[in-house]
């Protein structure tokens, strides 16, 4: 048996990934009860949360029991908790850190919308779990040991930074840890020098490289030999028009991914049409419970259900998230996938705080982005929703700034503007006010693109 065949038993784990639903449910419940007892015994924070809910870990005997608990943690609660732990305990890992701080061997963070870091701590066990799950996802995307992989996510503390590089090394791949911070010119030159088989980056950055590659290298991105692109960090890789643009430009297969901590990893498949992201870590987390974004009441997990996602770890030592919501809106699919893989799938629609309501109509910025992309090549794909005051309610009309491609002139631009407005009215049931701006007007980023622009913050 070759090394790759032996390693495939590690990176594709059929014992867990193809486990019959009834047996998997029993394993998850056993792990859940152990995780809840662990958190309750080691954290006064969690003991107080259980007491406030009028519950005890021993009351939770099924996954449905878990869904009846309220949300315990939000990003705001997380940040408040880590400020308290810094004051009282001398570390920034929150009052729900359950492992001794001496056992924290890795740290990542996200800046969130406030600009303040939200810390994620890992014990050695947590690192091993994360390595296994990233490897499962990369294996499904076609990445194999000995493949060269260009890492172009942000490296500076991000969950998709060092943890991803570490996981690629663990599975025997050859990561080139350039990072988005290096800039597009250096990144493209490194791609030309190292000839990676796979590229990892945000969908916004993948789109941006399509624009700048001819200027930097004198060639199109399709000539770089990239076969696989794994995107994460924003909904773009799950949007029809964005997917089409990236795959056609690179001549590569595009995979949508999500996860990076707490036993959570999701990856899309090779079905001709996007089917959402398969959940590949059900043995390590409850990652797609849904609640109503307004009432916070649990929603049935039926095919097509849409709601605010709440996660709970099943085997995490450092800061196990119990009923934790970061404010993402998910759609869950339970019908069989055309690819043949069993299990549920999820699609990220946006964030609770990004949802806009215009005359009673719900509008997700990602849906507007996808619609604008459908007018390529007359548009660059860059757009912003402009708000005078914070959402979700927007006084009509909804205002957009849309970049038109170089070469378009007066009447062509006006015609395009009318077509986009009509398409939004027909498909999204909102009639916008559109400002057309020349190519290159809107800022590009190697990280997540903010599709909403506030005039009072400029």
Question: Quick one: average pLDDT of 356-375?
Answer: 90
pLDDT at 63: 96
With 80 as the cut, is the pLDDT of residue 14 above it?
no
The model's pLDDT over 117-154, given as tens digits with 9 standing for 90+, comes to 899 999 999 999 999 999 999 999 999 999 999 999 99
Q: Which fold does the domain 1-348 belong to in CATH?
A: Rossmann fold (3.40.50)
**What is the pTM (predicted TM-score) of this model?**
0.88
The region of weakest confidence among 209-213, 235-239, 300-304 is: 235-239
With 90 as the cut, is the pLDDT of residue 110 above it?
no
**Rg for the chain (alpha carbons), in Å?**
22
Question: Quick one: average pLDDT of 223-237?
Answer: 94
pLDDT at 10: 56
pLDDT at 158: 87
With 90 as the cut, is the pLDDT of residue 18 above it?
no
- Name the superfamily (CATH) of residues 356-457: ANL, C-terminal domain (3.30.300.30)
Of the two residues 230 and 260, the one the predictor is more confident about is: 230
pLDDT at 392: 83
With 50 as the cut, is the pLDDT of residue 155 above it?
yes
- Tell me the pLDDT of the chain averaged across its residues: 92
Question: Percentage of residues in the chain with pLDDT exceeding 90?
Answer: 80
pLDDT at 166: 97
Q: Which residues 6+ apart lie within 8 Å of 323 measured at CB?
A: 49, 66, 69, 70, 71, 72, 73, 310, 312
pLDDT at 6: 38
With 80 as the cut, is the pLDDT of residue 447 above it?
no
Question: Does the bond joining 166 to the residue before it have cis omega, within 30 degrees of 0?
Answer: no
Q: Which candidate, 193, 329, 222, 337, places its Cα nearest to that of 277? A: 337
Question: Quick one: average pLDDT of 236-259?
Answer: 95
With 60 as the cut, is the pLDDT of residue 197 above it?
yes
Residue the block writes with tokens 């949300």: 71
pLDDT level of residue 115 (50, 70, 90 thresholds): low
The model's pLDDT over 35-87, given as tens digits with 9 standing for 90+, comes to 999 999 999 999 999 999 999 999 999 999 999 999 999 999 999 999 999 99
In whole angstroms, give the CA distance from residue 418 to residue 424: 10
The model's pLDDT over 422-444, given as tens digits with 9 standing for 90+, comes to 999 999 999 999 999 999 999 88
pLDDT at 235: 83
What CA–CA distances, in Å, run from 219 to 205, 246, 406? 17, 16, 19
In whole angstroms, give the CA distance from residue 453 to residue 73: 28
pLDDT at 5: 39
pLDDT at 288: 93
Q: Which residues 6+ apart lie within 8 Å of 421 measured at CB?
A: 431, 432, 434
pLDDT at 112: 56
Of the two residues 5 and 160, the one the predictor is more confident about is: 160
Delimit the domains of the chain by residue range.
1-348, 356-457
Q: Which residues 6+ apart lie within 8 Å of 407 measured at CB?
A: none
pLDDT at 71: 98
């Amino acid at each position: 048996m070759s090394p790759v065949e032996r390693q495939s038993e590690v990176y594709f784990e059929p014992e867990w990934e193809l486990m019959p639903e009834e047996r998997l449910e029993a394993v998850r419940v056993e792990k859940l009860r152990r995780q809840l007892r662990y958190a309750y015994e080691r954290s006064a924070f969690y003991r107080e949360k259980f007491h406030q809910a009028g519950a005890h870990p021993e009351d939770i005997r099924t996954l449905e029991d878990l869904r009846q608990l309220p949300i315990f943690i939000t990003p705001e609660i997380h940040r408040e908790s880590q400020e308290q732990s810094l004051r009282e305990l001398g570390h920034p890992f929150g009052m729900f850190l359950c492992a001794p701080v001496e056992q924290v061997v890795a740290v990542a963070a996200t800046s969130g919308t406030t600009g303040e870091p939200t810390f994620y701590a890992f014990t050695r066990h947590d690192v091993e779990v994360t390595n296994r799950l990233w490897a499962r996802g990369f294996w499904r995307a076609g990445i194999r040991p000995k493949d060269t992989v260009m890492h172009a996510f942000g490296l500076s503390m991000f969950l998709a930074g060092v943890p991803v590089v570490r996981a690629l090394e663990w599975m025997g791949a050859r990561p080139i840890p350039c990072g988005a911070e290096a800039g597009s010119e250096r990144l493209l030159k490194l791609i030309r020098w190292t000839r990676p088989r796979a590229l990892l980056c945000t969908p916004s950055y993948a789109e941006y490289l399509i624009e700048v590659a001819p200027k930097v290298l004198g060639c199109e991105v399709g000539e770089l030999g990239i076969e696989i692109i794994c995107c994460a960090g924003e909904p773009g890789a799950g949007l029809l028009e964005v997917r089409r643009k990236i795959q056609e430009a690179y001549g590569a297969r595009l995979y949508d991914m999500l996860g990076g901590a707490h036993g959570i990893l999701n990856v899309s498949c090779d079905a001709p049409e996007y089917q959402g992201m398969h959940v590949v870590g059900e043995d390590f987390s409850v990652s797609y419970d849904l609640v109503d974004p307004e009432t916070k009441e649990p929603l049935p997990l039926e095919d097509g259900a849409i709601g605010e996602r709440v996660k709970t770890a099943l085997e995490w030592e450092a800061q196990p998230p119990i009923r934790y919501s970061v404010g993402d809106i998910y759609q869950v699919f339970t019908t069989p996938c055309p690819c043949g893989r069993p299990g549920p799938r999820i699609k990220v629609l946006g964030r609770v705080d990004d949802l806009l309501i215009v005359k009673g109509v719900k509008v997700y910025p990602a849906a507007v982005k996808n619609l604008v992309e459908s007018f390529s090549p007359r548009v660059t794909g860059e757009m912003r929703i402009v708000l005078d005051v914070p959402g979700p309610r927007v006084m009509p009309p909804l205002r957009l700034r849309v970049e038109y491609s170089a070469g378009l002139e007066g009447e062509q631009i006006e015609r395009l503007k009318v077509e986009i407005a009509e398409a939004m009215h027909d498909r999204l049931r909102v009639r916008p006010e559109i400002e057309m701006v020349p190519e290159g007007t809107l800022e590009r980023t190697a990280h997540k693109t903010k599709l909403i622009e506030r005039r009072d913050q400029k």
